Structure formats: C-alpha cells, structure tokens
Amino acid sequence: MSDAMSANASNAGSSSAVSTGGRLQWSSRLTFILAAAGSAVGLGNIWKFPYITGENGGGAFVLVYLACILVIGIPVMMAEIMIGRRSQQNPTGAMATMAKEAGANPLWKGVGWMAIICGFLILSFYTVISGWTLSYTVSSVTGAFDTITPDAAGAMFGGMLADPAQLLMWSTVVVVTTMYIVSRGLHAGLEKAINYMMPLLIALVLVMVGYATSTGHFAEAINFLFTPDFSKLSTEAVLVALGHAFFTLSLASGAIMTYGSYVSKSTSIAKTSILIGIFDTAVALLAGLAIFPIVFAYGLEPGAGPGLIFVTLPIAFGQMPYGTLFGSLFFVMLSMAALTSAISMIEPTVSWLTEKRKMSRGKASALVGLVLWTLGLGTVFSFNLWQDNTLFGKTFFDAIDFLTANLMMPLGGLLVALFAAWVMKSNVVKEELGLGGGLLFTAWQFVMRFITPIAIVVVFLNALGFIDI
C-alpha cells in the first residue's frame, strides 16, 4: 500500500498512523469503531430492524435482540477481529496462518475464501440497491415527491425497476465511487471517507429524529418500538432476533476480519466489539424513531419492507411541510449507510489481490470494480429483462441473496466460532483477547464452543426450512 502515514487530526487525539510489520493500522480505536460500525450500519438497519422490532413485541424484542448481540454477535465479532489482528492478513491468509500456528488442517483456509466470495457476491447486488437510494435522492431534490399520489409513487418505483438503463447508471456510480475510495488505501481512502461519512450519517439521523418529534406522533413511535409486549414474543420472534443479530454486524463476509487486521495490539478487542454492537443497535433504533412518527402521522403501513422506503415514505415527504428538504436528507442518509457498508465488503477482495497477487491498489480496485459491475448486471436484469428467467423459482438476484444470507453467512460464522474456540490454542486466544484466564475468558470460550454454534445451527436450519419452530 502506498498511503500517506499521517492520520487525520480528528482521530480521537491520535497524531499519526502506525505501521507494524509493514502493515498499516487504523489511526485510532475510534476510527476502527466508526469503520466497523459503518460496515454494520446498512440499508437493512434503516428499515428492517425497526420494523421487526415493532412486529415482534417492541421492547420485549429489543431485550431479546440485545441478548443475542451479546451471545452471538459480539463473541463472533471478537473472534474475527482476533484472527485478523493476529495474522495481519486478508481472510484467506489469516485463516491459513492461524491454522498453521494451531497445527490444524490447512483446509481451514477455505473459511477465508468463503468469506471473501460471500462479501463480493453480496456487494454485487448491494451496489444495485444502493443505486436506488441515489436515484431517489435526485428525485427528492428535484421535487418529484411533491403532492405525489400512492399510485404515482408505486408507478415511480416500478418504472425505475423496469428500466435497466437507469438501474445500470446508478449502480455504476456506486461501483465507481466505492472503488475510488478503496483504491486510495487505508488512510487516504477508507479512513478519510469514514471520518466524513459516519459523523454525517449520525448527524442526519439525529436531524430526522428531531423533525420526527414535531409530527405529533413521536410518542406513538416510542410505544411501537419500546413498549414490551411479551404476547408477541414467540419462538419465531426469538429466531428473528438471533438471525438479525448475526447478520447486522457484517459477520462472515470478510469485512470485520480484514478491518481487524489493521487494528493495533493496544486496542481492547472486547471493549471495541461491545462499542460497535451498541453503536449499530443505537443507529437502528434512532432510524426507527426517525421513520415511524412520519409513517404514523400520514396513516402509512409500517411493515412495508423495502416498499416503506421507496413507495410509502415518498408519499409522506410529498405531503409534509419542508418535505423536499427532509426527503432529500433522508435519502442522503441512506446513501451514506449504503456506501460505508460497500467499502467494507469490497476491502477483503482488494486486500487479497494486493497481498497475494502483488497488484497495486489502483489496479486491484479497477479489476474488482469491473468484475463487480459485470456480475451486477444479473441483479439489474432480474427486475426487468430476466425477471421471467428463474432457477428453482428464483431470479438471479433472489438466488444470490439466498445463497449468501441463508447458506454462506451462517456456515461461515459457525466455522469461525468453532475454529476460534476449539482449534486455536487457548494461550493464543487469551493473549489476543486480553481477557485473562479467569471468568471472562471461560465465559467467552463456553459461549463460543456451545451456545453460539447451537444458536447459529438452529437459525440456519430454520432459514432453510428444515425445521419449523
């Protein structure tokens, strides 16, 4: 890498970037937290988490979800950061090095490969969906939502999906922007972008929450999200909480392991992982407090999924005072969330090319961007030209989504948990985690050896339809 070694002066008092063994590191713990949180906070946080919270018991679901974050999300995140930091390599190199150190089968390297491929496949359709947010940002700025009717809103969204040229144009913008940031390297690219985008994202969320308090329905939104209703807390709701806790932190996609390889030895993995989990959950809940007062104020359906963002909310923005302004801010917020996630998911692939194939950052980013753009054509055409072409009843987009979300990510998370808890040497794990050899380490090891694998397997089998709980 050819990054400048000076850190951004705003990085929590850290005056300079550091390098250990030739590998650059994050300028500060704060920067890493923002980067990992940026990876975790994506489009799903903005609409999915608030919705599933309200539908599954409100405050009761939040309590279960937080427990799942602690039991599954944070322990697995600690393991991925630990493997990345100890190895100082991309996921494939990291798993190969750690397996060799433990005297284990070199086939464990395949876990790293699966993570890189998984993140790449996710990004192939994520860039297309991220393009939707850019399209709607422009539409809002130009006043396209002013006095828009429900039929017109539906037609606008449907028209966008039916137009491959429009989808391709916006996905191209996302790919080019993502590749440019990543090509700049750790400090000049990723850090600089994160240091601007994450504070902006937080500011936009808070501005939207502030506006939501003026709708007259803020109390209704608080009740929707936080009032415990244990009658709705079914076994299925617990599984939903388990699944979302795992997926929301960008685990098993290579992103956290790669970001972990840039973490300094002085950083507490446990404390940092907890802070990332708190940050991710807080942003998701604040997004709910921003969205649902508007939804309730205009009598809209809170459980509309992606349609909530691209169909129902534009109707509200078209009716409310200063709707053009706040609609534009909302879709800019979505774009920021999408972009911070995108750069994290592509970093493992670029890192592998620069480390193993000795390619420059620029060439690696260009190559990855070209392949990513080409693969994204499948998602673009899934909504129009190829919508009738299916395999096992799934379009190209649906198939990739199913493969990554229901197969690769749960399997990858399970294997990471088993590797960290059963294969790696206990003294190595103790050294890296810094938990000592007492109760905290014993608790982490027990959770990772038994509770986390069982929970992931249950979610995995339920998602595949092998069990119905």
pLDDT of 287 above 70: yes
Please tell me the distance from the alpha carbon of residue 420 to that of residue 457, in angstroms, as a whole number: 17
* 202-239 confidence digits (pLDDT tens): 999 999 999 999 989 999 999 988 888 888 888 888 88
Please tell me the distance from the alpha carbon of residue 123 to that of residue 458, in angstroms, as a whole number: 26
pLDDT of 306 above 90: no
pLDDT of 3 above 50: no
pLDDT of 429 above 80: yes
| Helix, coil or strand: residue 436 | coil
Quick check: 371 and 124 in contact, CB under 8 A?
no
Quick check: 345 and 42 in contact, CB under 8 A?
no
pLDDT at 19: 37
**Residue 57: pLDDT band by 50, 70, 90 thresholds?**
confident
pLDDT of 466 above 90: no
Please tell me the distance from the alpha carbon of residue 112 to that of residue 375, in angstroms, as a whole number: 21
Rg, the chain, Cα only = 22
**Residue 467: pLDDT band by 50, 70, 90 thresholds?**
confident
Residues whose CB falls within 8 Å of the CB of residue 180, separated by 6 or more in sequence, listed in order: 189, 365
pLDDT at 14: 34
Mean pLDDT of the chain: 88
Please tell me the distance from the alpha carbon of residue 365 to that of residue 126, in angstroms, as a whole number: 17
End-to-end, the C-alpha distance of the chain in Å comes to 49
Quick check: 171 and 373 in contact, CB under 8 A?
yes
Find the mean pLDDT for residues 114-133: 95
74 burial (CB, 10 Å; 0-12 / 13-18 / 19+) is buried
Find the mean pLDDT for residues 289-306: 81
Please tell me the distance from the alpha carbon of residue 48 to that of residue 306, in angstroms, as a whole number: 8
Q: Which of 93-107, 296-310, 361-375, 424-438 has the lowest mean pLDDT?
A: 296-310
pLDDT at 257: 96
pLDDT of 240 above 50: yes
Percent of the chain exceeding pLDDT 90 equals 64
Residue of 404, 386, 405, 403 whose CA lies nearest to 395: 386
Q: Which of 105-114, 304-313, 336-345, 369-378 has the lowest mean pLDDT?
A: 304-313
Residue of 217, 268, 289 whose CA lies nearest to 62: 289
* 136-147 confidence digits (pLDDT tens): 999 999 999 998
397-419: b (≥16 Cβ within 10 Å) or e:
bbbbbebbebebbbbbbbbbbbb
| Structure-model confidence comparison of residues 242 and 432, the more confident one | 432
How many CB atoms sit inside 10 A of residue 299's CB? 9
Q: Which residues pair with 19 in a beta bridge?
A: 24
pLDDT at 47: 74
pLDDT of 15 above 60: no
pLDDT of 71 above 90: no
**Residue 302: pLDDT band by 50, 70, 90 thresholds?**
confident
The full set of domain ranges for the chain reads 31-464
Q: Which of 57-71, 103-117, 281-295, 300-314 has the lowest mean pLDDT?
A: 300-314
pLDDT of 10 above 80: no
Find the mean pLDDT for residues 359-377: 96
Strands (E), 12-66: 19-20, 23-24
| Helix, coil or strand: residue 391 | strand
CATH 1.20.1740 fits 31-464, yes or no: yes
Percent of the chain exceeding pLDDT 70 equals 94
Find the mean pLDDT for residues 402-424: 93
> DSSP H helical segments within 298-356, as ranges?
306-307, 313-319, 323-356
